[in-house]
Amino acid sequence: MKAAVLNELGADLQVRDDVSLTDLGAGEVHVKLVSSGVCHSDLSVQNGTIPMGFPLVLGHEGAGIVQEVGPGVTDVVAGDHVILSFVPACRKCGPCERGQAYLCDNSMTVGMTPHFVVDGNPIAGMTGLGTFAEELITAESCVVKVDQDIPLDIVSLIGCGVTTGVGAAINTAEVTPGSSVVVFGCGGVGISAIQGARIAGAAEILAVDMVESKLEQAKNFGATHVCTPDALDQLKAEITGGEGFDYALECIGNPVTIRGAFDAARRGGTAVVVGVGRLTDEVKFNAFEFFFTDKNLRGSMYGSANVRTFMPKLLRLWRQGKLDLESMITRRIQLDDVNDAFQAMEKGEVIRSVIDYK
Interacting residue with ligand APR among 59, 64, 188, 269 (CB under 6 A):
188
Q: What one-character DSSP code corresponds to residue 63?
A: E
Q: What one-character DSSP code corresponds to residue 267?
A: E
Asked whether the beta carbons of 133 and 2 are under 8 A apart, the reply is yes
Amino acid at 352: R
Interacting residue with ligand APR among 29, 235, 248, 274 (CB under 6 A):
274
By CB under 6 A, tell whether 185 contacts ligand APR: yes
Site string for ligand APR, 9-48 (x = CB under 6 A): ------------------------------xxx--x----
Total residues at interface with ligand APR (CB under 6 A): 28
**Least CB distance from residue 154 to ligand APR, whole Å?**
16
**Least CB distance from residue 221 to Zn ion, whole Å?**
18
Stretch near Zn ion under the rule CB under 5 A, chosen from 37-45, 172-180, 289-297, 320-328: 37-45
What 3-state class would DSSP assign to 45?
helix
Rounded Cα distance, 329 and 354, in Å: 7
By CB under 5 A, tell whether 41 contacts Zn ion: yes
Rounded Cα distance, 94 and 2, in Å: 37
Interacting residue with ligand APR among 114, 130, 159, 161 (CB under 6 A):
161
Amino acid at 251: C
Stretch near ligand APR under the rule CB under 6 A, chosen from 11-19, 75-83, 231-239, 269-277: 269-277
Site string for Zn ion, 112-151 (x = CB under 5 A): ----------------------------------------
**CA neighbor of 325 nearest in space, from 316, 333, 334:** 316
What 3-state class would DSSP assign to 292?
helix
Query: Residue 68 belongs to what H/E stretch?
Result: strand 62-69
Interacting residue with Zn ion among 39, 183, 207, 235 (CB under 5 A):
39
Cβ atoms within 10 Å of 52's Cβ, excluding its own:
17
**CA neighbor of 64 nearest in space, from 49, 44, 85:** 85
| Distance (Å) of CA 252 to CA 3, 119, 261, 276 | 27, 36, 11, 7
Between 86 and 116, name the residue whose CB sits nearer to ligand APR: 86
Contact positions toward ligand APR, by CB under 6 A? 39-41, 44, 161, 164, 185-190, 208-211, 214, 229, 251-254, 257, 274-276, 345, 348
Contact positions toward Zn ion, by CB under 5 A? 39, 41, 160
